[in-house]
Structure 1
Amino acid sequence: MTQPTPPVPDRLGPLLARLRQARGRSQQRLAAELCAASGVPTLSRHEVSRWERQRRVPGGFWLGWLAVVLAVPVELLAEAAGRSRPTHRATTPTHRATPTHQATPTRRATPTRPAPPRAAGTTAPPRAAGGTSAPAPAGGTTARGPRRRGGRLSHGVPRAADAAPPTATR
């Protein structure tokens, strides 16, 4: 006579759903109780749903609080979580040996813009140590050109829009 096979232990998702439903709690209520017990206000019913659907596996922190709130031994949840985590199989290839098509890049490299021309005899301002930028030169220009202050160029030449309207003379 053959021995009956022991039942396959649950993975964490179905186990959590069964424990929650046996206690008459919704995912929202379980999330609220976990937040209150742990002091972490950011757990939502969506995360509980992800755990139950095996989209994510809670870490040790949440496993401990789940055990407290659901009144079950933490070892039960930890063993189920171990069965739920994906295993990496190095012996089975996950891709085809010969590709059926060539991959095309989704982004093209953008060409770099050349630096703007500098006036003869000028050099770039030295950079300060530590990667911070150096203070602006006294002339009011930067590597990108003249600096604007209050709608005017820093060297005092007003913009065309800032020019005073012509006065009528008789």
Structure 2
Amino acid sequence: MTSPPPPTRTPLGPLLVRHRRARGWSQRRTAAELCAAAGVPTLSRHEVSRWERQRRVPGGFWLGWLAVVLDVPVVVLAEAAARTRRTRRTTAAGPGRRGVAGARPAGRAGPGYAGGRPGGTARGGGARSRATR
């Protein structure tokens, strides 16, 4: 029985890039391989790019297929994804960015900011109506 791979400190994005390039694949080819393996035709190279730039972190479904397609143990990808999520939570809160709780930055109330919009123009704000079935 083989032992699990040693823990790595590499975030998910660079890890995906390294394994994709080791195969000589483009992001488009990687997306095509993932679609073929998973039987889901909706993944684009743009989503692969978002994962590699760490704008998004793939969920368990895509992590499993990434492990199959890139021939990387799913544990390695899952640990890198968890590390990336933790890092994103601690660095996401900043000026003009939504923090962990998704709160908007403070200081946007007062004269000229009705409804949070410059110029005092409130827009909508009511409940959405549901279409009858």
If the TM-score is normalised by the length of the shorter chain, which range does it land in?
A: 0.5 to 0.7
Q: TM-score, normalised to structure 1's length?
A: 0.52
How far residue 9 of structure 1 moved from its aligned partner, in angstroms, is 0.9
Equivalent residue for 1:67? 67
Deviations 1:88-129 (A, max 9, x none): 59xxx857xx9497370224368xxxxxxxxxxxxxxxxxxx
2:33 aligned with 1:19? no
Percent identity between matched residues is: 64
**Aligned with 2:122 (options 108, 133, 138):** 108
2:30 aligned with 1:30? yes
Q: TM-score, normalised to structure 2's length?
A: 0.65
Structure 1 residues 35 and 108 mapped into 2: Cα distance closer, same or farther (>3 Å)?
Answer: same
Q: Report the 3-state secondary structure (helix = DSSP H, G, I; strand = E; otherwise coil) of the residue aligned with 1:87.
A: helix
**Runs of 5+ in structure 2 lacking a partner?**
1-6, 96-105, 125-131
1:9, 1:74 → 2: CA distance? 15
1:67, 1:109 → 2: CA distance? 46
Find the structure with the greater CA-based Rg: 1
Q: Any residues of structure 2 matched to 1:40-59 within 5 Å, and which?
A: 40-59=40-59
Q: Report the 3-state secondary structure (helix = DSSP H, G, I; strand = E; otherwise coil) of the residue aligned with 1:55.
A: coil
More helix by share: 2
**CA RMSD, aligned part only?**
2.9
Aligned length: 100
Equivalent residue for 1:87? 89
